[in-house]
Amino acid sequence: MTETGASRRPLVVLDGVDKHFGALHVLKHVDLSVGEGEVVVVIGPSGSGKSTLCRTINRLETIDAGTITLDGRPLPSEGKEPGPAARRRRHGVPVVQPVRAQDRARQRDARADPGARHLEGRRRGARPRACSNGSASTSRRASTPRRLSGGQQQRVAIARALAMDPKVMLFDEPTSALDPEMINEVLDTMTSLARSGMTMVVVTHEMGFARRAADRVVFMADGEIVEQAEPETFFTAPRSDRAKDFLSKIL
């Protein structure tokens, strides 16, 4: 198995991680080592456990067996910490998730009726001439994330995560809820981040991003890491039938 992360200092290490949801075995003895500065793209069919993998790394989910270490320190086991939010803060492993559906509906409305934003501003007490040059940028600065486009919201989410000065960042299909024209701006931000040396685990169906930015592609199916390789190798010569089948459907 190609281990392109082997030469780097291991930053996130999953060793024999098992996770069940009731009778469902969602992660089956997962071993994964992410090196410092490495960009690992995780792909695989829906339901294969990709989100669960992310959620175990940032401690939104507990694990049933195995260990996860972050920069050499084991993540604490369940019960020793006050709550998921505190654990997440303490471990500083942010996860960027899709823009929520309702925000997406709102941005559609705003695009369909460009005046809506302005009107909304007036309704909230903005002065009638609020759309002259200078104040346009002021209102933009003051706007809350929900009034930004989905792409802008994701870039804000990434900036906020970066402000935590994380050792690693997780992305769980960050562009999946975005309209096509916004996907690239988010992927460009992520590509820059990758090039800046950030350690990243990215679940995505954006194979262009994987080819461009990934050091390693990890292919998951049915709760297992089926194969992993450098992107070029994986995309041109997948070895497993599951990966071949998956790629034939999405490429």
Residues that bind Mg ion (CB under 5 A): 50-51
The residue among 11 and 53 lying less far from Mg ion, judged by its C-beta, is 53
Instruction: Select the binding partner of residue 21 from Mg ion, ligand ADP, none (C-beta < 5 to 8 A, by kind).
Output: ligand ADP
The residue among 147 and 242 lying less far from ligand ADP, judged by its C-beta, is 242
Shortest Å distance, C-beta 50 to Mg ion = 5
Cα R_g (the chain), whole angstroms: 20
The residue among 51 and 56 lying less far from Mg ion, judged by its C-beta, is 51
Q: How many separate helices (H) and strands (E) can be counted in the chain?
A: 10, 10
Q: Which of 6, 134, 128, 12 is nearest to 68 (CA)?
A: 12
Write out the binding residues for ligand ADP, residues 45-84 only, by CB under 6 A.
46-52
3-state SS, 22-52, equals CCEEEEEEEEEEEECCCEEEEECCCCCCHHH
The residue among 12 and 148 lying less far from ligand ADP, judged by its C-beta, is 12
By the rule CB under 6 A, 154 interacts with ligand ADP = no
Residue 115 backbone dihedrals phi, psi, to 5 degrees: -75, -15
The residue among 35 and 150 lying less far from Mg ion, judged by its C-beta, is 150
Residues in contact with ligand ADP, counted by CB under 6 A, come to a total of 11
By the rule CB under 6 A, 249 interacts with ligand ADP = no
By the rule CB under 6 A, 119 interacts with ligand ADP = no
Shortest Å distance, C-beta 99 to ligand ADP = 17
Distance of alpha carbon 47 from alpha carbon 50, whole angstroms: 7
Full strand arrangement of the beta sheet holding 216-221:
95-96, 168-172, 199-203, 39-43, 216-221, 224-229
Write out the binding residues for ligand ADP, residues 13-42 only, by CB under 6 A.
21, 24, 26
Residue 166 DSSP one-character state: -
Shortest Å distance, C-beta 45 to ligand ADP = 7
Shortest Å distance, C-beta 53 to ligand ADP = 7
What beta strand segments (E) does the chain contain?
10-21, 24-35, 39-43, 65-70, 73-74, 95-96, 168-172, 199-203, 216-221, 224-229
What residue ranges bind ligand ADP (CB under 6 A)?
A: 21, 24, 26, 44, 46-52
